[in-house]
Amino acid sequence: MRISEIAGVMDEAAPPRLAASWDRIGLQVGRADADARRVLVGLGPSDELLREAAERGVQLLVCHHPLIFHPLQGLTDSTPAERMAAELVRAAIAFFAAHTNLDAAPGGTNDALAEVMGLADVRPLAPAELKLAKVAVFVPSSHVEAVSAAICNAGAGQIGAYRDCTFRLEGTGTFTPGEGSRPFIGKQGALERVQETRLESIVPREGVAAVIDAMRRAHPYEEPAFDVYPLENTLRTGGLGRCGMLPRPMPLAEFAGEAARRLHSPATRFAGDARRIVAKAAVSAGAGIDLADAARAEGCDVLLTADVKYHQFLDARGRGLAVIDAGHAETELPGVRALWSMLRARLPGVEVLLSEAPAAVVQRAPA
């Protein structure tokens, strides 16, 4: 399978529009038109992961953490990113990253963390709201299925977990082909009446150009008639963090212990009254303490995340929100395993491997 096809599957699972503006995602090293027979999925670039990729003979690395965050000054060994990028080029291994877009996507990193922690009635803590447009195009009824498939494959018609959402209305289109035209139907100078379908669908505003381009390529007319309407309503799809109910109310210390056990994180830390009963929890894989206000606003008793600083523990505790820090890699690894499982199901004929290299860069000193 071509790497561009695998990238298409990744973009569908973790839409790039959900990524933070500062993030760097997508294909970072390698050729989109190259073939990949074996793919390795891991948390992020490291010397151990690169060695594993070479030893296991993969053509593509798919990681949660990007390799390139800032422009490279060269492909030397002056920085770890430059050195690893050069090694990937020499080994003909491509590198693809899905970072904050995978965090925000339905079924992504945060949904996987919520599932591991046993949360119920899960929903985004900070929903992503997309500005929408409606595209309406008039198509001869014989070609409506082809045009519908083209615009939906280009990004139209996605509403939550539903795909290919369109509306169709039958009618009669009229036109007179002028001099120099090459009409698909009709003759120059003669008024033509055609049974047509008005096909309309919604699309995120930033995706309108791609949808129009796909429509033009699939449409049989030289000059298809279409309209684009900006919409005031927005679409909530995914978002940062998740909140939900615990399987049962329990003391904070017990929930912290569950996090340590389920996430294999013995160095889990928490702040708050250990005996306080918690029932509603927020989770944010990786560094998510910035969602503390959102967690409080949702009535959560506790936020499970990582990379929490001492003063942030104090501030949250003082505002009535308990906080658990279970480790950066530990909170993100459930999402990596979910990504591996998804790619195995979606890439027939491609061997998709889960990295066995150590994911946690920071090691714990013995007590």
Report the pLDDT value the prediction gives residue 131, as an integer from 0 to 100.
Answer: 85
Picking from 93-107, 127-141, 331-345, which range would have the lowest pLDDT averaged per residue? Answer: 127-141
Claim to verify: residue 250 and residue 122 sit in the same structural domain: yes
Report the pLDDT value the prediction gives residue 201, as an integer from 0 to 100.
Answer: 97
Choose the final residue of a domain: 236, 253, 268: 236
**Strand runs labelled E in the chain:** 26-29, 38-42, 60-63, 94-97, 120-140, 167-175, 192-204, 226-251, 269-271, 277-287, 302-306, 322-325, 351-354
| CATH number (domain holding residue 313) | 3.40.1390.30
Note whether 239 and 283 are within 8 A (CB).
no
Report the pLDDT value the prediction gives residue 367, as an integer from 0 to 100.
Answer: 63
The answer to the question of residue 41 being in a domain is: yes
The answer to the question of residue 110 being in a domain is: no
The answer to the question of residue 338 being in a domain is: yes
Angle (CA) 342-62-343 rounded to 5° is 15
Claim to verify: residue 215 and residue 160 sit in the same structural domain: yes
The answer to the question of residue 314 being in a domain is: yes
Q: What is the mean pLDDT of the chain?
A: 93
Report the pLDDT value the prediction gives residue 155, as an integer from 0 to 100.
Answer: 87
- Distant-in-sequence, close-in-space partners of 271: CB < 8 Å, separation ≥ 6: 313, 314, 316, 317, 322, 323
- Average the pLDDT over 64-88 and give the result: 91
Percent of the chain clearing pLDDT 90 (strictly above): 78
Which pLDDT band holds residue 67 (cuts at 50, 70, 90)? Answer: very high
Dist CA 135 CA 341 (whole Å): 35
Percent of the chain clearing pLDDT 70 (strictly above): 97
User: b vs e for 42-52, b when ≥16 Cβ sit within 10 Å of the residue's Cβ?
Assistant: bbbbbeebbeb
Angle (CA) 324-113-249 rounded to 5° is 60
Claim to verify: residue 12 and residue 83 sit in the same structural domain: yes
Pick 337 or 21 by higher pLDDT: 337
pLDDT tens for residues 25-64? 999 999 999 999 999 999 999 999 999 999 999 999 999 9
Report the pLDDT value the prediction gives residue 72, as an integer from 0 to 100.
Answer: 87
Claim to verify: residue 253 and residue 230 sit in the same structural domain: no
Q: Which 8-state DSSP code applies to residue 143?
A: G
For residue 284, pLDDT over 90 is answered with yes
pLDDT tens for residues 86-127? 999 999 999 999 999 999 999 999 999 999 999 999 999 998
Choose the final residue of a domain: 236, 252, 281: 236
The pTM is what?
0.80
Report the pLDDT value the prediction gives residue 207, as an integer from 0 to 100.
Answer: 87
Q: Which 8-state DSSP code applies to residue 365?
A: P
Dist CA 325 CA 120 (whole Å): 21
- Quote the domain boundaries for residue 156: 129-236
Claim to verify: residue 315 and residue 349 sit in the same structural domain: no
Claim to verify: residue 193 and residue 160 sit in the same structural domain: yes
Could you give the C-alpha distances from 79 to 16, 25, 28, 36, 299, in angstroms and in order? Answer: 27, 20, 16, 28, 44
Q: How many domains does the chain have?
A: 3
